[in-house]
Amino acid sequence: MSQPVVAKKRKALPPGLIVRTGKFVWNSMWHVMMSQMAPRNQSGAYTRPESAFRGREITPEAGRYRLIVGMSCPWAHRTLVTRVVKGLEDAIALITVYPSTDEGVWLFDVDQDNIDCRTLPEFYQSTQSGYSALRTEIDELNEKIYVTVNNGVYRCGFAQTQEAYDQAVTALFETLDELDNRLATQRYLCGDALTLADI
């Protein structure tokens, strides 16, 4: 008569080890992404590079232009809203990119039509080799919103010191208060008409 087989009890990984490993992996991935996607200054504050592709007058022409967006990026929402408000859905096609945690850059979806580049930096280089930042004149309100609100939320989220966070969050809420006061007395930020500042 054979003896019953007793299953050996397997040792589980200690929960503390799993948590520490998870934290280490996430922290490592975060640092790779931040080093490439979130440049900072000496005090740890997020510093967004100036866009080299501003200030161009573009006439809508179906099939000629494409809008590249990362759906997880709040900046993309502004461009998507503008595309709809201006009625440009048929004239400007969408191309989506997604962030790479390994490389710290935006990657194109492999199924995108007519894109020969794998990463967004490669695309910029192919569009304008050696492109550099160019400053364009924008009105005072848009400049303030850009620096303290649009970019301000990134400066808060990506701040790597308490001092940098405190500066960013103070500027953000001061501007939000100012915008709230404007909207308390008028329909839109710049008066009675919808402008890019509102979008």
- Together in a domain, 129 and 151: no
Summarised one tens digit per residue, pLDDT across range 65-104 is 888 888 888 878 888 998 999 888 888 888 888 888 777 7
Asked if pLDDT for residue 57 goes beyond 70, the answer is: no
191, part of any domain: no
120, part of any domain: yes
Please state, in angstroms and as integers, the Cα–Cα distance from residue 42 to each residue in 19, 47, 148, 160, following that order: 32, 10, 19, 10
95, part of any domain: yes
Summarised one tens digit per residue, pLDDT across range 112-165 is 666 778 888 888 777 665 544 723 333 678 888 888 998 899 899 888 899 999
23, part of any domain: no
Q: Which range scores top for mean pLDDT: 5-9, 38-42, 136-140, 159-163?
A: 159-163
> In this structure, what CATH number is given to the domain that contains residue 180?
1.20.1050.10
Neighbours of 199 (CB within 10 A): 14
Pairing verdict, β 106-108 and 92-99: antiparallel
Task: Give the neighbor-by-neighbor strand order of the sheet with 92-99.
Answer: 65-70, 92-99, 106-108
28, part of any domain: no
Sign (positive or negative) of CA dihedral 72, 76, 80, 81: positive
The domain tally of the chain equals 2
- Together in a domain, 74 and 120: yes
Report residue 120 as tokens.
């967004």
